[in-house]
A and B are shown apart, each in its own frame.
Chain A
Amino acid sequence: MAESTLQTDHPEGLDGFVRDWSSDQRTFKRVSWGKAMMWIFLLSDTFVFSIFLIGYMSARMSTKSDWPNTSEVFSLHVGGADLPLLLIAIMTFVLISSSGTMAMAVRCGYARARKATAGLMYLTALLGATFVGMQVFEWTKLIQEGVRPWGNPFGAEQFGASFFMITGFHGTHVSIGVLFLIIIATKIWRGEFDRPGRTWLKSDAGDYEAVEIMGLYWHFVDLVWVFIFAFFYLW
């Protein structure tokens, strides 16, 4: 006899896993379409970033010239002293903080606190924009010092190439995130999420899940930065 699938409890662990995968309709029982789509996209994007990093690492290993000393190249001259990686530390701090504000926004979203959610999302966007701004500053500084994709005064030419490619690709992700944060926050602020009806961001009145999905993306972009930080700046 096939076991009745009408049961409504949610068995945990392996039993629950097996039950969900052998059930009808939905494999991930409490996951909406949008969230599932974001997770799978992030999986694919993880591959993109991993391969970028692997490509960079293999270039770093195969090049014959010496790799520049990153703590010197990325140092800031403040008050008569060279502080290694100062800017990057600040950037990392800003981005991680933005993950915090994003998490708070998600929480407020579930409480349907309209203004708090929108406000925290704007704050997240601001921190994200600050990050991109500092990245622009860093790029400008390096370009002024003569770093180019095809060569630089410090050592192996793959250094500049990888730097611009990887931080550029990550920065693009952050910028797109900022854009969507602002769009969603503005819609929330205007109360569009509290009106009935289905739009591309919500299924009905009070459906704030888009905030959480946005949050998934944002935390992912942060996480990627941690890896870039470790493999590019610290190595």
Chain B
Amino acid sequence: MANIPYRPDEQVPPAEVPDVHPPHPHTWIGRWVFSQDAKYIAIQYSATAIAIGLVALVLSWLVRLQLGFPDVFSFSAEAYYQFITMHGMIMVIYLLTAIFLGGFGNYLIPLMVGARDMVFPFVNMLSYWVYLLAVLVLVASFFVPGGPTGAGWTLYPPQAILSGTPGGQDAGIILMLLSLILFIIGFTMGGLNYVVTVLQARTRGMTLMRMPLTVWGIFTATVMALLAFPALFVACVMMLFDRLLSTSFFMPTLVEMGEQLSYGGGSPIVFQHLFWFFGHPEVYIVALPAFGIVSDLISVHARKNVFGYRMMVWAIVIIGALSFIVWAHHMYVSGMHPYFGFFFATTTLIIAVPTAIKVYNWLLTLWRGDIHLTLPMLFALSFVVTFVNGGLTGLFLGNVVVDVPLSDTMFVVAHFHMVMGVAPLMVIFGAIYHWYPLMTGRMLNEAMGQIHFWVTFIGTYAIFFPMHYVGLVGVPRRYPEIGDPAFITTPVDGLNAFISIAAFIVGAAQILFLFNIAWSARNGRDAGGNPWRAASLEWQTPQTPPRHGNWADELPVVYRWAYDYSVPGAPEDFIAQDDPWVQQTAPT
């Protein structure tokens, strides 16, 4: 086995560039408010994302109140549209994207590649503050006359900027677009940092193929985001023009309330293309970091190396690349040419191949592993199950003929909540349970964690599994109330009420989780330096939590990949990446 490239080399190359120490803060404000330390920025990012995520959680309760008990709680249709729009937009962009890249990316990339900080700490700090501004603009839209936009998270024109849609002729849509533009600017500043840090600031011995998959996932997702967000940026600018300057990029000739509007000649379909050219990569921007993190969680907690590491890396990269040529599968019902549908269905189904490879490799990593059913592992396992489920419904939707009747039904809602809602959230939870000891030096409370896990796992299934059925029966999405139309032959009122109750219980469990985070920061069990006995570099820092500058005077030197678990003959069941241990007698 001696020639496998992730085995320790005899020599580690000398340092190519001098060690750069990140700027030291001199003031209280520089340390605790405008901090330039990636670890602190990560916590700021995560806290903000979770805070705004709570708003989205409450909005989802309101949506479920309406859907589950339309006779008791009857919101106006306008309010309902505002709830679903803001819920979706916040969850996808301001929570998931921000926490994976801004949160985990900032915390883990420098530590995992052995850097002292991101390459441009000041720009990195700006990234957070622009993000915060984007969030505040978003929040402000709740308080302006007319309220936030109710255009749906896809913001399709022409309705998004017409008076029939909440916020369309008020400030709601304007603030939404501005907030997105700010988000993109802020993200770009952070994203450039993550990419350059991975490419150019690794420590001695850290080759790309020795990086933990977490870094690979976040890195690829960041590159994708840098190439996909431009489409959303341009779409937002153009729509802002349409709304504020009465241009007609996306606006055809329209008659509203018997009156012809000044618009004419634009194409709403162009917006859909731009939106989904961003939107489909976006779902993988969320999924790839989750893929990477979950691989590491499974490996650490099953005490086994990741099965097929190289294949996992290539699968991440290939999924990233392919996801730029599948976007129109969201537009099968937009009236496009059948050959187009054929093309996009083919590319869409091809993505299932590398995705399936990843799933098999997770299973083969678990196979005959020494599985510890710790909280991170439980969440990782639930991710795999949930993701497979969502991927299977993706195969239904990827086929044009099957999608046409299913499009715009609750089936689609169930699909993407499984695959993009619950699955990545499970990884986020698992990752927090896993890395909280590194960030605070204490363990999260196990009992609360178990309750949180089981309620969330069973609860989300109770929510979204029946929702597939609701969709198959024919219930369309984005309707506050459908009454008793003739095309729905089996009533689903009872099911809807059941789903709603499950949603409230799951929501309550998240409050317990947040309480756990706060409570354990003071009262948690002392974690020691490496509670999971993990091999990757972030656990090998001289102090836990790592100090400013991450490492001691010398940067760590890396001798192996991040997955040396249960190596026969090794003194312990893991070998840290910076451990120069070599097998004396070759294993037979």
Residues of A within 8 A of B (CB): 1-2, 4-6, 21-29, 31-33, 36-37, 40-41, 43-45, 47-48, 50-52, 55, 58-59, 62-65, 149-151, 156-158, 160-161, 165, 169, 198, 200
The 10 closest A-B pairs by CB, nearest first: A161-B247, A63-B265, A47-B230, A150-B246, A149-B245, A62-B267, A48-B230, A44-B226, A33-B119, A51-B234
Asked whether any CB of chain A lies closer than 8 Å to the CB of B209, the reply is yes
Tell me which residues from 191 to 229 in chain B have a Cβ below 8 Å from any Cβ of chain A: 192-193, 195-196, 199-210, 226-227, 229
Contacts of B201 in A (CB 8 A): 26, 33
12 contacts between A and B (CB under 8 A): A25-B200, A25-B204, A26-B202, A37-B196, A41-B192, A43-B226, A43-B227, A44-B192, A59-B267, A59-B270, A157-B248, A165-B241
Residue numbers in B under 8 Å from A41 (CB-CB): 188, 192
Within the complex, the shortest CB–CB distance from B172 to chain A, in Å, comes to: 22
A62 pairs with B120, CB closer than 8 A: no
Residues of chain B contacted by A157 (CB below 8 angstroms) = 247-248, 264-265
Chain B residue with minimal CB distance to A44?
B226
CB-defined contacts of B266 to chain A, threshold 8 Å? 59, 62-63, 158
B411 at the interface (CB under 8 A from A): no
Asked if B12 lies at the interface with its beta carbon under 8 angstroms from chain A, I say: yes
The listed residue with most A CB atoms (<10 A of its CB), out of B15, B200, B235, B266, is B200
**B344 near A: Cβ within 8 Å?**
no
Contact B231 A28 (CB under 8 A): no
Structural contact, A62 and B270, CB atoms closer than 8 A: yes
Q: How far is the CA of A108 from the CA of B266 in the complex (A)?
A: 50
Report A110 CB to chain B, min CB distance, Å: 19
Contact B249 A26 (CB under 8 A): no
Supply 7 further A-B pairs (C-beta < 8 A) apart from A2-B5, A25-B15, A158-B248. Answer: A24-B204, A33-B196, A41-B188, A65-B265, A150-B262, A158-B266, A160-B247
Contact indicator A47/B231 (Cβ below 8 Å): yes
Given known A2-B7, A62-B267, A150-B262, contact A40–B207 (CB-CB < 8 A): no
The answer to whether A62 and B241 have CB atoms under 8 Å apart is no
A70–B248 CA distance with the chains assembled, in angstroms: 19
Judge whether B195 and A40 touch: CB under 8 Å: yes
Name the B residues within 8 Å of A33 (CB-CB). 119-120, 196, 200-201
A-facing residues in B1-47 (Cβ within 8 Å): 2-3, 5, 7, 9-17, 20
B200 touches A26 (CB 8 A): yes
Convert B229-244 into 0s and 1s, putting 1 for each residue whose CB lies closer than 8 angstroms to a CB of A: 1110111011001000
Known: A1-B3, A157-B265. A25 touches B13 (CB 8 A): yes
A36 near B200: Cβ-Cβ < 8 Å: yes
| Closest CB in chain A relative to B57 CB, distance in Å | 32
A33 to B22, CA, bound (A): 14
A48 and B181 alpha carbons, distance in the complex (Å)? 12
Pairwise interchain contact B120-A37, C-beta atoms closer than 8 A? yes
From residue B265, how far is it (CB to closest CB) to chain A in Å?
Answer: 4
B544-584 interface mask toward A, CB cutoff 8 Å, 1 = contact, 0 = none?
A: 00000000000000100000000000000000000000000
B105, chain A: closest CB distance, angstroms: 15
Answer whether residue B532 sits at the interface, using C-beta atoms and an 8 A cutoff.
Answer: no
Tell me if B248 and A55 are in contact (CB < 8 A). Answer: no
State whether B207 touches A36 (Cβ < 8 A). Answer: no
Shortest Cβ gap from A209 to chain B (Å): 13
B196 is contacted by which of A40, A44, A55 (Cβ under 8 Å)?
A40
Q: How far is the CA of A63 from the CA of B267 in the complex (A)?
A: 8
Inter-subunit contact A4/B230 (CB<8 Å):
no
Q: Which among B17, B227, B264 is the interface contact of A25 at CB below 8 angstroms?
A: B17
CB distance from A47 to the nearest CB of B (A): 4
Identify which of B5, B192, B206 gathers the most chain A CB atoms within 10 Å of its CB. B192
Contacts of B120 in A (CB 8 A): 33, 37
**Residue B122 interfacial (CB < 8 Å):** yes
Chain A residues with CB under 8 Å of B209's CB are 22
Instruction: Give the distance in Å from the alpha carbon of A193 to the alpha carbon of B199 in the complex.
Output: 27
Q: Which residues in B have their C-beta under 8 angstroms from that of A36?
A: 196, 199-200
Pair A24/B205 contact, Cβ less than 8 Å: yes
Q: In whole Å, how far is B22's beta carbon from the nearest beta carbon of chain A?
A: 11
**Bound complex: CA of A62 vs CA of B206, how far in Å?**
52
Taken together as a complex, chains A and B put the C-alpha atoms of A205 and B264 apart, in Å, by 59
* Interface residue from A1, A44, A58 paired with B227 (Cβ < 8 Å): A44
Separation of A29 and B202 alpha carbons in the complex (Å): 12
Beyond A22-B209, A33-B119, whether A51 also contacts B248 by CB under 8 A is no
Cβ of A44 and Cβ of B208 under 8 Å apart? Answer: no
Closest to B250 in A: A59
B residues near A158, Cβ cutoff 8 Å: 247-249, 265-266
CB distance from B182 to the nearest CB of A (A): 15
Residues of B within 8 Å of A43, CB to CB, are 226-227
When the two chains form the complex, which single residue of B7, B270, B274, B558 contacts A24, counting CB atoms closer than 8 Å? B558
CA A41 to CA B123, docked complex, whole Å? 13
The interface residues of chain A lying within 8 Å CB-to-CB of B241 are 149, 161, 165
A24 touches B13 (CB 8 A): yes
Given contacts A26-B17, A55-B270, contact A47 B227 (CB under 8 A): yes
Closest to A150 in B: B246
Residue of B nearest to A21 (CB): B208
A6 near B245 with CB under 8 A, answer no
Among the interface residues A51, A63, A64, which one has the most CB atoms of the partner chain B within 10 A? A51
* B248 close to A24 (CB less than 8 A): no
Distance in Å: Cβ of A157 to nearest Cβ of chain B: 6
The one of B199, B230, B237 in contact with A26, judged by C-beta atoms closer than 8 angstroms, is B199
In the complex, the answer to whether B11 meets A52 with C-beta atoms within 8 Å is no
Compute how far the CA of A4 lies from the CA of B9 in the bound complex, rounded to whole angstroms: 8
Determine the chain B residues whose CB is within 8 A of the CB of A27 once the complex forms.
199-200, 208
The one of B12, B200, B206, B230 that contacts A31, using a Cβ cutoff of 8 Å: B200
* Interface pair B119/A37, CB less than 8 Å apart: yes
User: How far in angstroms is the closest Cβ of chain A from B273?
Assistant: 8
Cβ < 8 Å to A, chain B residues 394-445: none
Residues of B within 8 A of A55 (CB): 234-235, 238, 249, 270, 274
User: Per-position contact with A for B91-105: 1 when CB-CB < 8 Å, else 0?
Assistant: 000000000000000
CB-defined contacts of B7 to chain A, threshold 8 Å: 2
Q: Do A51 and B230 touch across chains, with their CB atoms under 8 A apart?
A: yes
- Interchain nearest-CB distance for A103 vs B (Å): 25
User: What's the Cα separation between A26 and B203 when bound, in Å?
Assistant: 9
A24 touches B12 (CB 8 A): yes
Per-residue contact bits, chain B 251-276, to A (CB 8 Å; 1 contact, 0 not): 00000000000101111001000100
How far does the alpha carbon of A64 sit from the alpha carbon of B193 in the complex, in Å?
Answer: 45
Contact B196 A26 (CB under 8 A): no
A25/B202 contact (C-beta < 8 A), A6-B13, A36-B196 known: yes
